[in-house]
């Protein structure tokens, strides 16, 4: 028994626990609507230093370092792959400044903050300062979504994080190689030549492999079912070969490889993107749990007020100076520059890369390299917490936040969608109607509804539509195939439970039914757009009814037996369409949007006339009977 305890869990069981803790933390964060990185940090610390259940150094042994290195390589490949230079839009000028001016300046200021604040040596500070260029794309996106930030500053922050993700890692590679060179016994000229040759070799190999993969995929030399395996295997061998030539240069190679493939405009881009997103979620959570669990209690205890001073210098000095200097002359309004300057949450990539290089520095004799990992955790934890609580209020204070109310994005202009949009607008719910057919937008525009002319899946929509302002989507054009395409494409971004689609013609017939993974959720008990339009032509009108404790759903059904419920506005503002009127559940404080037949309207007018009231579309608390 004692032998078993000293041997630890073993790699297989430990690997399973890492997966459970990592993915479980991600799921819990989703349920609690908290930044995943905070939950993962807590899970790693509980599994490791707090309980001793998981000890990566003991349980994985010599496999730990290669596992982390491979995972970081895939994460950086994902960063390069996500960098589609054609989609920068109106944020392009600002992103260029934050990369070409901001990255070197941020590297310098972060290094100074580490030396003066955290009391690190220049060698460790230079390596860690390069990594700190990264601002955390996996963290910034959910924070911006919660803050409902305006499109331009949101895009600029997102793209800065995506672009600087690989740049920060490459800066760390350069600094690390310089440290190795200075500590080697080679003559300076020979050492620098070796360094330059290795970096050039890695960049050329990464670019050549990326070009070859793009050509092979584009010309159909690899079947669809093998594209992901071929890509993954090529990524691993590219990292291994270049890393064997120059230590850590494999990170540069796979980043360049991802950048080339991501900008090759491949028809199978979406399938590859989803694979790398799924792989990155698994690897990011796994690496974070491993690094958090591998921290020793004495390392955390050794952190003193210098660590806090370091974070304060980064958040209040280094980051603001970097952004404000970089954006001089950019033409961005003052409020946007200030918001970006004080928004810089760090994420998982920083922790993963910092933990890797911290170990490498310690191995080559830079003793305070072991402090990089704990400092990275402190920086990530505090910046995520600070920005998580201040981002939305700051955006509102600076006039950069959209409405806090969840909105509805309607794809398809018609009589039905226009009437629904008018009703929602009167209920103070933001609505946008988009349509690729200009004629379909005449009616909503005439009725004062906000519209967008163009394809919602096109690049113009990415540059124009504030997608973050709309929590729910309804695909309701007169083209069933286009509705299915829109719902399928936007479901991963908005969430499948928030994407609705007008029922298709013959949707209930087995021969015409589609797989469940295609399209959005249906509503209205199978009634198609033509069916809804017919009701409106017959004189049916929309009504909004508030449900209270006194006037509940049973009373509503009794007073309006022929009403056709369309959707429900929950008490917290969430929107959901009614799939089955008989099974509908509505809590007190919610509002039902329904269609009333002409006879019900006449009865409503008669009731209110007898009561001496004016007809109203929405009953008040004092008059709960519509």
d(CA 68, CA 80): 18
d(CA 20, CA 511): 41
Higher pLDDT, 592 or 303: 592
The pLDDT of 274-303, averaged and rounded, is 74
d(CA 40, CA 24): 9
Judged against a pLDDT cut of 60, whether residue 611 lies above it is answered with no
d(CA 607, CA 552): 19
Both structure tokens of 251 = 């990170």
Phi, psi (rounded to 5 degrees) for 435: -165, 135
The least confident of 44-53, 263-272, 471-480 is: 263-272
Confidence band, pLDDT 50/70/90 cuts, at residue 422: very high
Confidence band, pLDDT 50/70/90 cuts, at residue 6: very low
Q: What is the per-residue pLDDT for 35? A: 67
Instruction: Give the 3-state secondary structure of residue 485.
Output: helix
The tokens 């998580």 sit on which residue? 388
The least confident of 117-121, 256-260, 517-521 is: 517-521
Instruction: Give the 3-state secondary structure of residue 622.
Output: coil
Q: What is the per-residue pLDDT for 85? A: 62
Ramachandran region, residue 86 (left: φ > 0; alpha: ψ -120 to 50; beta: rest): alpha
Confidence band, pLDDT 50/70/90 cuts, at residue 405: low
The pLDDT of 324-348, averaged and rounded, is 86
Q: What is the per-residue pLDDT for 621? A: 36
DSSP 133: T
Q: What percent of the chain has pLDDT over 90?
A: 12
The pLDDT of 551-558, averaged and rounded, is 87
CA 342 to chain centroid? 20
Both structure tokens of 119 = 């009391």
Phi, psi (rounded to 5 degrees) for 546: -90, 130
Judged against a pLDDT cut of 60, whether residue 228 lies above it is answered with yes
Confidence band, pLDDT 50/70/90 cuts, at residue 191: low
The pLDDT of 346-362, averaged and rounded, is 78
The least confident of 204-213, 374-383, 457-466 is: 457-466
Specify the pairing of strand 470-475 against strand 591-596. unpaired
Both structure tokens of 566 = 């369309």
H helices of 269-371, where?
269-293, 297-301, 305-313, 319-326, 334-341, 348-363
Judged against a pLDDT cut of 90, whether residue 418 lies above it is answered with yes
DSSP 439: G
Name the nearest CA neighbour of 386 among 319, 466, 480, 336.
Answer: 319
List all residues 6 or more positions away from 408 whose beta carbon is below 8 Å from its beta carbon: 421, 424, 429, 430, 431, 432, 470, 471, 472, 473, 474, 575
Contact 286, 47 (CB under 8 A): no
Q: What is the per-residue pLDDT for 625? A: 32
Judged against a pLDDT cut of 90, whether residue 368 lies above it is answered with no
Judged against a pLDDT cut of 70, whether residue 268 lies above it is answered with no
Q: What percent of the chain has pLDDT over 70?
A: 82
Confidence band, pLDDT 50/70/90 cuts, at residue 620: very low
Contact 617, 424 (CB under 8 A): no
The pLDDT of 343-354, averaged and rounded, is 78
Confidence band, pLDDT 50/70/90 cuts, at residue 435: very high
d(CA 213, CA 151): 34
Higher pLDDT, 146 or 17: 17
Judged against a pLDDT cut of 90, whether residue 587 lies above it is answered with no
Q: What is the per-residue pLDDT for 1? A: 38
Write the pLDDT tens digit of every residue in 473-523: 999 998 888 888 888 888 877 778 889 998 877 666 666 566 666 778 888
Q: What is the per-residue pLDDT for 209? A: 92
* E-only strand ranges, 184-262: none
The pLDDT of 97-114, averaged and rounded, is 89
The pLDDT of 172-182, averaged and rounded, is 77
Q: What is the per-residue pLDDT for 325? A: 92
Write the pLDDT tens digit of every residue in 562-586: 888 999 998 888 888 988 888 888 8
DSSP 600: H
How crowded is residue 322: how many other Cβ atoms within 10 Å of its Cβ? 25
Name the nearest CA neighbour of 339 among 424, 429, 401.
Answer: 401
Both structure tokens of 316 = 């209040």
């Amino acid at each position: 028994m004692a032998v078993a305890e000293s041997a630890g869990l073993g790699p297989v069981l430990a690997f399973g626990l890492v997966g459970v803790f990592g993915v479980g933390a991600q799921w819990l964060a989703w349920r609690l609507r908290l930044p995943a990185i905070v939950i993962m940090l807590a899970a790693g610390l509980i599994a490791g230093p707090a309980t001793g259940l998981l000890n990566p150094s003991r349980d994985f042994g010599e496999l730990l370092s290669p596992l982390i290195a491979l995972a970081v390589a895939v994460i950086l490949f994902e960063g390069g792959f996500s960098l589609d230079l054609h989609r920068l839009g109106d944020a392009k000028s600002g992103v260029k400044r934050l990369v070409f001016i901001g990255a070197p300046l941020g590297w310098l200021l972060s290094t100074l903050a580490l030396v003066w604040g955290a009391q690190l040596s220049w060698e460790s500070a230079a390596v860690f300062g390069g990594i700190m260029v990264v601002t955390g794309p996996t963290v910034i996106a959910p924070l911006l979504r919660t803050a409902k930030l305006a499109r331009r500053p949101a895009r600029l922050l997102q793209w800065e994080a995506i672009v600087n993700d690989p740049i920060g890692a490459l800066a760390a590679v350069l600094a690390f190689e310089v440290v190795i060179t200075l500590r080697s016994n080679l003559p300076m000229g020979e050492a620098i030549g070796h360094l330059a040759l290795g970096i050039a070799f890695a960049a050329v190999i990464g670019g050549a492999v990326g070009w070859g993969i793009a050509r092979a995929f584009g010309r159909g030399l690899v079947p669809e079912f093998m594209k992901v395996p071929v890509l993954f295997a090529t990524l691993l061998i590219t990292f291994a070969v270049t890393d064997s030539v120059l230590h850590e240069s494999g990170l540069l190679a796979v980043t360049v490889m991802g950048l080339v493939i991501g900008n090759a405009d491949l028809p199978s881009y979406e399938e590859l993107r989803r694979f790398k997103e799924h792989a990155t979620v698994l690897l990011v959570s796994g690496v974070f749990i491993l690094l958090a669990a591998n921290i020793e209690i004495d390392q955390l205890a050794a952190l003193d007020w210098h660590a806090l001073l370091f974070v304060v210098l980064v958040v209040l000095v280094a980051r603001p100076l970097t952004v404000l200097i970089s954006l001089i002359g950019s033409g961005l309004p003052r409020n946007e520059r200030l918001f970006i300057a004080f928004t810089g949450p760090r994420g998982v990539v920083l922790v993963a890369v910092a933990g890797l290089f911290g170990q490498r520095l310690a191995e080559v004799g830079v003793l305070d390299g072991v402090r990089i990992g704990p400092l990275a955790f402190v920086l990530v934890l505090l910046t995520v917490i600070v920005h998580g609580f201040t981002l939305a209020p700051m955006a509102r204070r600076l006039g950069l936040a959209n409405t806090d109310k969840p909105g509805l994005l309607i794809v398809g202009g018609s009589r039905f969608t226009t009437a629904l949009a008018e009703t929602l607008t009167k209920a103070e719910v933001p609505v946008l109607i988009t349509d690729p057919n200009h004629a379909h937008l005449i009616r909503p525009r005439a009725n004062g509804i906000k519209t967008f002319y163009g394809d919602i899946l096109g690049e113009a929509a990415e540059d124009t539509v504030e997608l973050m302002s709309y929590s729910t989507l309804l695909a309701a054009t007169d083209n069933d195939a286009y509705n299915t395409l829109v719902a399928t494409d936007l479901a991963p971004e908005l969430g499948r439970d928030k994407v609705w689609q007008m029922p298709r013609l013959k949707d209930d017939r087995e021969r015409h039914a589609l797989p469940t993974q295609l399209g959005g959720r249906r509503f209205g008990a199978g009634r198609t757009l033509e069916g809804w339009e017919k009701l409106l032509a017959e004189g049916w009108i929309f009504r909004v009814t508030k449900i209270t404790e006194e006037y509940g759903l049973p009373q509503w059904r009794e007073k309006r037996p022929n009403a056709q419920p369309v959707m429900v506005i929950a008490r917290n503002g969430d929107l959901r369409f009614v799939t089955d009127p008989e099974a509908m559940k509505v809590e007190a404080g919610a509002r039902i949007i329904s269609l009333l037949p002409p006879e019900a309207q006449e009865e409503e007018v008669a009731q209110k006339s007898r009561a001496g009231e004016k007809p109203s579309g929405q009953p008040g608390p004092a008059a709960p009977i519509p």
